Amino acid sequence: MDSNDIMQWMYSVYCILLAQHAMDLYYTPGSAPCRVVLLVAAALDIQLNLKELNLQAGEHMTTEFLKLNPQHTVPTLVDDGFALWESRTIGRYLIRKYNNKELYPEDIKIRALIDQRLDFDLGTLYPRFGSFFYPQIFAGQPADENLFKRLEESLDFFNSFLKGHKYAVGDTLTLADLSLVATVSTIEAAGVSLDSYPRVERWFELVKSTAPGYEQANEKGLKKFKGLVANVKAKTEL
């Protein structure tokens, strides 16, 4: 066995060991919060053992899953028996576990701004999108103009946050971008135009082109989300 064969054998063993110790991620591809975790994993260049749950079939309500997560939400990460949910919390956990200083810098003010953007995404942008859009898709309700105005207001907020910033916070890609891009891409995929928010548009194109593994981590799930939307719309139009 020559040196190349030895190196190849060692790499194969490493890959096997890595797979054996991979963390489990319970998820559904169309979910924006699940795609946040996939984007973080791609940026960290780590492998997760993906366990897709069919929410419509109630796979998140099984006894086994409820033992892991009583809230029965996705994404849920399981690291050697330690279960954790809420996408942005999972993102911070993975970043700290792998000691990444770029996605969540130690500078207290930069970190505070990242946290603010994450809280804005969690508490304002994504909920306002959900309140406006999901009743139309899942309950067949007509679009509510007041709820749409609130969504527009939140996009305008984000547009103002980006003034003087290349990325969501400063000039480098952070966890804030990975969280927000999952939401903004979902909003756009639902047919909401970003034309009125030029900074958001520029930021969106930048993150799509610079976030590691963006196509696999986010676009793949977006296609399923678009398919769900098209399928539900087709049924309501019959």
In the chain, the domains with their CATH numbers are 3-97 (3.40.30.10), 108-236 (1.20.1050.10)
Q: Round to whole Å and give the CA distance between 104 and 173.
A: 9
How long, in residues, is the chain? 238
Q: What is the pLDDT of residues 27-82, one digit of tens each?
A: 999 999 999 999 999 999 999 999 999 998 999 999 999 999 999 999 999 999 99
Catalytic residue flag (residue 185): no
Distance of CA 78 to the CA centre of its chain: 17
Catalytic residue among 3, 12, 31, 131: 31
For residue 127, pLDDT beyond 50: yes
The phi, psi pair for 84, rounded to 5°, reads: -145, 140
Q: Give the tokens for residue 65.
A: 């899953």
pLDDT value at position 138?
Answer: 84
pTM of the model: 0.89
Q: Report strand pairing: 23-27 vs 76-79.
A: antiparallel
State the average pLDDT over residues 179-194: 97
